[in-house]
Amino acid sequence: MSIVIYNTMSRKKEQFVPIHKGEVKIYVCGPTVYNFFHIGNARCFVVFDVVRRYFNYRGYKVTYVQNITDVDDKIIKAGQEQNRPPMEVAEQFMQAFLADTAELGVVPADVHPRVTDHMDDIIDMIVTLVDKGYAYTSDGDVYFRASSFKEYGKLSHQSLGDLQAGARVEVNEKKEAPVDFALWKAAKPGEISWASPFGAGRPGWHIECSAMSRKYLGDTFDIHGGGHDLVFPHHENEIAQSECATGHPFANYWMHNGFLNVNHEKMSKSLGNFLTVHDLTSKYQPRVLRFFLLSAQYRNPLNFSDDLLEGCQNGLDRIDTSRDNLLFRLDKAAISQEHQVDLSSQKNAFMKAMDDDFNTADAISAVYELVRDANTYLRQDKVEKAVIEQYLELLGEMCGVLGIDAVKRCELIDADIEALILERTEARKARNYARADEIRSLLTEQGIVLEDTAQGVKWKRE
């Protein structure tokens, strides 16, 4: 089986063929760190974390780069509003980004390049574009001349003429054409700036990703990813400036995740439905949020609602219960007959889903099918250790690829702990001591210490 990817450039699924056999180089646009990121941003971070995990699972050596934009108009504005240096704002929310993505089970990128650490690379690329005639200076600013790149619009499938006619930009007498975009912005009084051959200033948004991806992945790399909202203008402009600067194709495959709505409405601060992951993790387990973000194929739209999150919690409970029951029966299982069970159909169903453009929705269905089979097996009076171990191994593999590892649960929130303690109490009343002990062990595994007192069960975190 081979991996097939829907390429935004060609608008069709294509068999993935790496530039170098057994290796894959991926660049994914990261956050602009001026605030906590919202659940829509999180979808991109989680989706491409799974893409990376699956390539690793299939034996590829993955180089994964995700930038951090730490100088930008929004960061400067936030600093002004909060009366503190913009770099202080950027540092705070960069650390928050790393912490919150870790909560979601996102593995850190191999490199998280920051714009402010790569100013020389950015300036060098701008100089190249000016020298080659693809860019021009204008009163301290530098702009890319879109008409100089004959294939401009090939990613978004729009002609330059249509883009010029439909350009919704502020009147700017510095630019030759409305669709031209800034590579360098001249310094304004009181704003952070860097020295350059064009004068003091700071880079435009698009050139940053071109320079940093080139530094770590080369002129041409395998996959460029991001949210669907980045197709135009960000990724379109990256292609134009990169291919003009290097003379080589930029990325071979373009992947974009779909939009996320809240209760079927577009997320916005004005509607009061702007949901940051930082806030949501106080209400939902991060693992449940991750599971929700993978519940639809990544290119499809996704709707956020409490009902859907409850369904995801139930789905994870179903997986966890099966895993717990397998572990509970493992030590008591017969070992005299080392039988094997054929789980190839379940594994193949999972891989078929993931090979088909990383269809996590169908992959989750394959996990459920494995769980159903495991539960059926456990209903037997006599089970064998070798078979249980097979189920546990495959379940661990599947959940590991999705990043919802059943063996390594995320930290329980207080409400979950109270519910488990209540269930344990009821189990003891019913003389179901096995289940009571199982719950205590589960809580201990999560660092929860129980104390049975005359006033009831008390608990604390280690």
Q: Is residue 34 part of a domain?
A: yes
Mean pLDDT of 70-89: 95
Output the domain CATH number for residue 15.
3.40.50.620
Mean pLDDT of 134-150: 97
Which of 402, 425, 446 is at the close of a domain?
402
| 338 and 240 assigned to the same domain | no
User: What stretches of 69-220 adopt beta strand conformation (E)?
Assistant: 135-138, 141-144, 181-186, 201-203
Dihedral angle sign, alpha carbons of residues 123, 129, 135, 139: positive
Mean pLDDT of 278-295: 95
Q: Is residue 283 part of a domain?
A: no
pLDDT for the residue numbered 462: 62
| 33 and 92 assigned to the same domain | yes
| 50 and 181 assigned to the same domain | yes
Which of 237, 257, 277 is at the close of a domain?
257
Question: If you average pLDDT over every residue of the chain, what do you get?
Answer: 91
| 97 and 233 assigned to the same domain | yes
Residues with Cβ < 8 Å from 231, sequence gap 6 or more?
Answer: 8, 155, 156, 256
pLDDT for the residue numbered 410: 42
Three-class DSSP category at 211: helix
Which range of residues forms the domain containing residue 105? Answer: 4-257
| 350 and 227 assigned to the same domain | no
Q: Is residue 247 part of a domain?
A: yes
| 153 and 103 assigned to the same domain | yes
pTM for the predicted model, two decimal places: 0.86
Output the domain CATH number for residue 389.
1.20.120.640
Compare 419 and 30 and report the one with higher pLDDT. 30
Q: Is residue 119 part of a domain?
A: yes
| Number of domains into which the chain is organized | 3
| 339 and 387 assigned to the same domain | yes
Name beta bridge partners: 194.
201
Model confidence at 167, in pLDDT bands (50, 70, 90)?
low
pLDDT for the residue numbered 160: 85
Alpha-carbon span 206 to 201, nearest angstrom: 15
Give yes or no for a contact between 88 and 229, defined as CB atoms under 8 angstroms apart.
no
Is 274 a residue whose pLDDT tops 90? no
User: What stretches of 67-211 adopt beta strand conformation (E)?
Assistant: 135-138, 141-144, 181-186, 201-203
